[in-house]
């Protein structure tokens, strides 16, 4: 099973490489600067607000409150009732496009909302 998941993850990475030519890896300072007190609209229609206080509000139908922070060069979030923080590498393609990548090869693409 692990070999299958590894193969699937590798396939996603390779498949995403051609699409990600213009994506630039962001460091921790850049992630904090881009997200703090801003909102992201995701491809699925959801929005997420990243408050300077470390709180975050994800809205897709029902609102969901969580916490966020930058750890090293990753965006990390905590969504109760889970006690576990999940961290993501963040990339940007231009001033308003952003993608969050998890350890399993999942991509969460969105746009920074201009306010």
Q: Is the CB of residue 50 less than 8 Å from the CB of residue 115? A: no
Q: How far is the C-alpha of 70 from the C-alpha of 52, rounded, in Å?
A: 11
Sequence ranges of the domains in the chain: 22-112
Show pLDDT as tens, one digit a residue, over the chain (115 residues).
333 333 333 333 434 443 545 899 999 999 999 999 999 999 999 999 999 999 999 999 999 999 999 999 999 999 999 999 999 999 999 889 999 999 999 999 999 998 7
Question: How buried is 15 (Cβ within 10 angstroms: 0-12 exposed, 13-18 middle, 19+ buried)?
Answer: exposed
Amino acid 80: pLDDT: 92
């Amino acid at each position: 099973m692990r070999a299958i998941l590894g193969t699937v993850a590798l396939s996603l990475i390779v498949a995403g490489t051609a699409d990600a030519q213009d994506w630039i890896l962001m460091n921790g300072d850049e992630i904090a600067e881009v997200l703090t007190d801003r909102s992201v609209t995701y491809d699925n229609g959801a929005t997420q607000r990243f408050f300077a206080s470390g709180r975050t509000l994800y809205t897709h139908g029902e609102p969901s409150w969580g916490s966020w922070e930058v750890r090293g060069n990753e965006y990390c979030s905590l969504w109760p009732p889970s006690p576990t923080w999940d961290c993501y590498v963040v990339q940007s393609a231009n001033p308003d496009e952003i993608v969050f990548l998890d350890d399993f090869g999942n991509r969460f693409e969105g746009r920074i909302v201009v306010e």
